[in-house]
Structure 1
């Protein structure tokens, strides 16, 4: 034997390297679970990338963190976005470019963090709890938009920002607290819940992404107060969601449920099929109370939303032919279209195409397609519900902007679904728990 403190002999076995400490879940809880607080402070938008930076710091401190599948596609997208900054023409556009890039980066960081945290735990349920807390924030703040739609407040962050910055319309929308969107000039305005977001379309987008995650949680967790609270919140959530009058929200949810239903029928999964029927029945009953079809028709008839969108889309297609590789760096305001919104808005597809070019759009879409294919490998009821999230996102991309918190929500759900599908595959291959799960096994 070697003397105390001496080097081991040549034939002595090398002790195994201890596994790194588990990534804590409290940063995800702070980020996704305290949404009402960030909203009240006016920091929901501008503070989101800072919370992502906290996750990134923990990842660097931990080290040895696996990247989720298809992460290389998103890294290529980010590289193209960075290079497209050479096309910017003004300091103001650099500010908005930087914020959007921060959201793109934050989404990837969230995905990496959730994927790593889920892979190293035997019990996956706690990893999904922060996203459930985000859902509760949508429901509660959505009802606030229903009950007090004219509520608005000056937030602490709005007061702290320099006047020139806070007065910028783009920033003002982010830091000034409102609960609903409506036309102040209308004698009979249509109130559309939006909180905690600045725009009601973002609320509808988040709702359609998060609902499958909530159903998945109730299937992963068979008992407990949180499960019953989520089951009660599902029908309660329909009023604010329906009153957003977001057609793309209904379309994307319908597409997600349709794909989910086909997969369930092919695999003979009765539990998934029954859950789909339950969601559809609750939604149908809600239409008996809320005349959603009439309200949507009334809104379309009283606005030029379709004409404005088509005008913007046509202008994007015309202009991108002059700069197809890197786009223009950011949306621009022009007076050649009927819409008041800048060219390159009113849909993530058009924003990426106009701002960053055709290659960036291909990478953006390719990541969601790859995510849909990978997540579809899940066989459990919870995994199948989560696999609907990238399908929902693909349908939303032409209509809704995602350079916001919702992209992080999508990455959260997809990364969790990827980890779950991987665990199911390993379990099937060796007939037991995966090695990581065995090493960190805890009571469920």
Structure 2
């Protein structure tokens, strides 16, 4: 591996170390600094088609800071350190993932071969599976990270920041009528684990199965079999839908003998799953759509609030007054994590609408739609996988927050498509 590729390897292969230290998804901000310096030294810098949309998204987020002190009807709260820290952290993340994308696109094939980058994403998938298994079998595992110890208490105790810097194996939620642990290691929350697992699984299959030799394929089969355990125990319907649509996409897009082999593998895996002890858990989860009412309330409140600043939004999230059940909410002995629900917390599109208005949401969607339109004719394995991931981004923006790690992986996938062209 060339010296120029070390920041990418440090993020993808070294991610468990970042997570253990308490940086986790914030490591992209740390690594964006050397990437930016190296990029500057190799001017002129190439930019991808669609770059202007992301630049406008960033510019719009800067403008949205003008509304940080405002609270729309149906919300409450005053401008304080937590709101400012959250805004600055999101701004740093949006900027950092752009730097990483440009860095990847400006590396030559000799400096970082495509297959090596894909396989590094596959290594992160193995890490994701290991973290998921930790969440299933040791859900109570957590500890105070070095970063958490160094930060001032008022910042470290901020809910958004704490999720990023406090390593935990699982997120316990009342999903099945009782407290059920949902794997989240090595990411910031359970939904981030689900989004990342599905995206990384796509690249793992490409790098270690499609382009793999016999020993690579045997390893891939073993990892995928193990991955089924945390995927089911994540109780993550968005992840399950994403995987189902991914299979459908592959069956439609690939042809000939590959389609026959794909269908055979899928049928075998489906039969093995139905006969396994995991199938009843999936049925139980589908019978208890507990979060539907909560999501309906927060989405409705988000749209209502956004109509009062539809162009530039409010710079950061706001807490709703009340909830879907009552005009009063708060912590209790049986629900210590309860409270006023934050608006924009049920999907990246809703986050953008409250933070950057409908303009930001349109720019975000247009960026990834443009990638699909430009690369839809690329029928190489990397091209097919990249377009699939862009489609998953558009699906997941309605149910998953893109920040922190999911957006980084989305943009690395975008960079792979760009490099492939």
Give the TM-score band, short-chain normalised: 0.7 to 0.9
Q: Is the 8 A contact 2:119 2:208 kept in 1?
A: no
Verify the 8 A CA contact 1:36 1:141 in the aligned structure 2. no
Match of 2:36 in 1: 56
- Which residue among 245, 250, 254 is the counterpart of 2:240? 250
* Equivalent residues of 1:145, 1:193 under 8 A apart: yes
User: 1:383: how far off?
Assistant: 2.4
CA contact (8 A) 1:23 1:62 kept: no
Shift in Å, 1:69? 2.4
Provide the residue aligned with 2:124 in structure 1. 134
CA positional deviation for 1:325? 0.5
Q: 1:124 aligned to 111, 114, 120, which one?
A: 114
Residues 275-303 of structure 1, C-alpha deviation per residue, up to 9 Å, x if partnerless?
Answer: 36524642552243202432313653xx4
Q: Distance in 1 between matches of 2:186 and 2:250?
A: 29
Counterpart for residue 66 of structure 2:
86
Match of 2:283 in 1: 294
d(CA) in 2 for partners of 1:160, 1:272: 53
CA distance in 2, matches of 1:182, 1:312: 21
In structure 2, distance between residues paired with 1:326 and 1:320: 9
Q: Within 1, Cα distance between the matches of 2:383 and 2:11?
A: 24
Larger Rg: 1
Aligned to 2:253: 263
**Superposed, which structure 2 residues align to 1:277-426 within 5 Å?**
277-279=264-266, 281-289=268-276, 290=278, 291-297=280-286, 299-300=288-289, 303=290, 305-338=291-324, 340-420=340-420, 422=421
Distance 1:220 1:253, change over 3 A: closer
1:148 aligns to 2:128 (yes or no): no
On the 8 A contact 1:219/1:381 being kept in 2, the answer is: no
Of 318-327 and 119-128, the range deviating more from structure 2: 119-128
SS of corresponding position for 1:45? helix
Encode CA deviations 1:360-387: one digit per residue, 9 max, x unaligned: 1111000111112223221223421332
SS at match of 1:177: coil
Structure 2 residue 22 is matched with structure 1 residue 42: yes
- Structure 1 distance, partners of 2:266, 2:7, is 31
Are the structure 2 counterparts of residues 195 and 77 from structure 1 closer, same or farther at C-alpha, using a change threshold of 3 Å? Answer: same
Counterpart contact for 1:324–1:357, Cα < 8 Å = yes
Q: Distance in 1 between matches of 2:118 and 2:285?
A: 33
Distance 1:50 1:383, change over 3 A: same
Q: 1:213 to 1:315 in 2, by over 3 A?
A: same
Structure 1 residues 46 and 411, CA, compared in 2 at 3 Å: closer, same or farther?
closer
Q: Between Structure 1 and Structure 2, how many residues are aligned?
A: 395
After TM superposition, which residue ranges in structure 1, 4 or more long, deviate above 6 angstroms? 184-187
Distance 2:114 2:25 in 1: 28
Aligned partners of 1:228 and 1:368: how far apart in 2? Answer: 34
Displacement of 1:68 in angstroms is 2.1
- TM-superposed CA distance for 1:271, in Å, is 2.0
In 1, the alpha carbon distance for the partners of 2:32 and 2:221 equals: 30
1:228 to partner: Cα distance: 4.4
Question: Aligned-pair RMSD on alpha carbons?
Answer: 2.5
